[in-house]
Amino acid sequence: MQYPELSDAELVAHCRAGRQAAWSTLVRRFQRLVYTVPRRAGLDDDAVAEVFQHAFSRLFEQLDRLDDPARVRAWLVTTARRETLRLLDERRTEQQRRAAPAGEEEHDDPLLALPDPAPLPEALLAALQEQHRVRSALERLAPRHRQLLELLFLQDEPPPYAEIAARLGIPEGSIGPTRARALDQLRTVLRSM
């Protein structure tokens, strides 16, 4: 059983009740968002996987202590951001240690010992959350509408209409009207979220 139609708070309640399918749905719902935080910070695949595992492990440990289950998305973003910053600081410290000339004290310059407290820009986090919201809304669309919008707007280079029509099995002339209906449906879903 899957729970894609549940709100975040309802999904957390099902996870707290021990429903494995709810946990799977929760991970699927937020996996892109959590992966995007370290990716945008420039971390490599191993570090991104480490942040992902850390964020969901911490969520599993803290699930019963979440004050506001409806804000699980924000909780995950904050956790992923903190772990990303920790890894970046760890790497920066390691690079500084390697770059220091032999025999020089590691912390001769006290400023080098201070971690960089600069968070990921808030605008970036807001954009990540908005992207996640749109992706979640896309998942609620009718399959044909979702596929069309993904082909038109989520490709680096959108395919030609002839290719889209062939993939979806629809006449090329119906792509425009179908796109309009799909965007209307997407707006409706976004308003309801």
The DSSP result for 3-33, as a single string, is -TTS-HHHHHHHHHTT-HHHHHHHHHHHHHH
pTM above 0.75, yes or no: no
Q: What residues contact 112, with CB distance under 8 A and at least 6 apart?
A: 96
113, exposed or middle or buried, with CB in 10 Å at 0-12, 13-18, 19+? exposed
In CATH, the number for domain 1-101 is 1.10.1740.10
Q: What is the pLDDT of residue 1?
A: 61
Where are the chain's structural domains? 1-101, 140-193
Q: Burial code of 12-24, b = ≥16 C-beta within 10 A, e = fewer?
A: bebbeeeeeebbe
pLDDT digits (tens, 9 = 90+) for 97-149: 777 665 555 545 554 555 555 555 566 667 777 887 888 888 889 999 999 99
- Per CATH, the number for 140-193 is 1.10.10
- Digit-coded pLDDT (tens) for 150-182: 998 888 788 889 999 999 999 999 999 999 999
